[in-house]
Amino acid sequence: MPSPRVVLEITGGLAHIRFVNPSRHNAMDLQFCNELADAATRCSTADGLKAVLLAAEGDVFCVGGDIREFVDNRERLHEHVLASAAQFHVAVTRLHRLRAPLIVAVNGTAAGGGFSMVCAADFAIAKRSAKLNPAYTRSGLTPDGGGTWFLPRIVGLRKAFEIFATNPTLSADVACSLGIVSRVLDDAIFDAAVAMLARQIEEAPAGVLCALKSLMRKSLEASLEEQLGAEAASIAAQAELPETQRLLAAFLGKGR
């Protein structure tokens, strides 16, 4: 039986999806795509999730599609690529539609489908040494994994076209300046910071990150008046939760 490519652990309301094939730079072969789709599906049916943390083992986040597998399947490449993309897209769709936000920890190079996964994040943190490159068109391919949907919403249509067309290698700092990455951390503190973030998520009040994600998504389509109405309904719903009331009482007590 082949070694796993993707593993999922759920503890304390945090779903931790990890890419676990560092010897192949966490390349997206068909097995990888199947396992990622399975992990995302399991997240979609899990109760009480506060967030999903996507991370990778080794020094590379993900180099995208497994070119070696493409070559090995060249006699049936169309069918093979369709099968891989279909499973990859199941994963992207289900993670995007979760109530819980998707947080991506970029520990190294993110290229191809790995780049698209970073763009799909609600919040992405990266090592300062990490590099990001779409990498598709230089190999004669077009993007998948929702890259052409997510990236224009982050950087605008023209800038997204330029990035996909010219394949620049973006430093973590440049990716952060463009909004593709939310935060950049020095390599020496990256692992500790990701662990601290995981603890913060597990300790977060129930439902609050999910409610925040919902509000942010609504803002892309709503008028100001509609968004204000959604904000009022959301803060009122959160305020009446017993956990929120305990937190508010504790905050009031600290101020006395």
pLDDT in tens, 65-88: 988 888 888 888 899 999 999 999
Q: At 192, is the pLDDT very low, low, confident or very high (cuts 50, 70, 90)?
A: very high
Q: Say how far apart CA 129 and CA 244 lie, in whole Å.
A: 39
pLDDT in tens, 213-240: 999 999 999 999 999 999 999 999 999 9
**pLDDT value for 214:** 96
User: How would you label 72-87 residue by residue, b for 16+ Cβ within 10 Å and e otherwise?
Assistant: ebeeeeeebbeebbeb
Q: Say how far apart CA 113 and CA 64 lie, in whole Å.
A: 4
Q: At 253, is the pLDDT very low, low, confident or very high (cuts 50, 70, 90)?
A: confident
Selection from 154, 147, 83 nearest residue 122 by Cα: 154
- Taking 70 as the threshold, does the pLDDT of residue 256 lie above it? no
**pLDDT value for 232:** 97
**pLDDT value for 7:** 98
Q: Say how far apart CA 50 and CA 204 lie, in whole Å.
A: 8
Residue ranges of domains in the chain, CATH in brackets:
6-203 (3.90.226.10), 208-254 (no CATH)
Q: Compute the Cα dihedral for 39, 40, 44, 48 and give only its sign.
A: positive
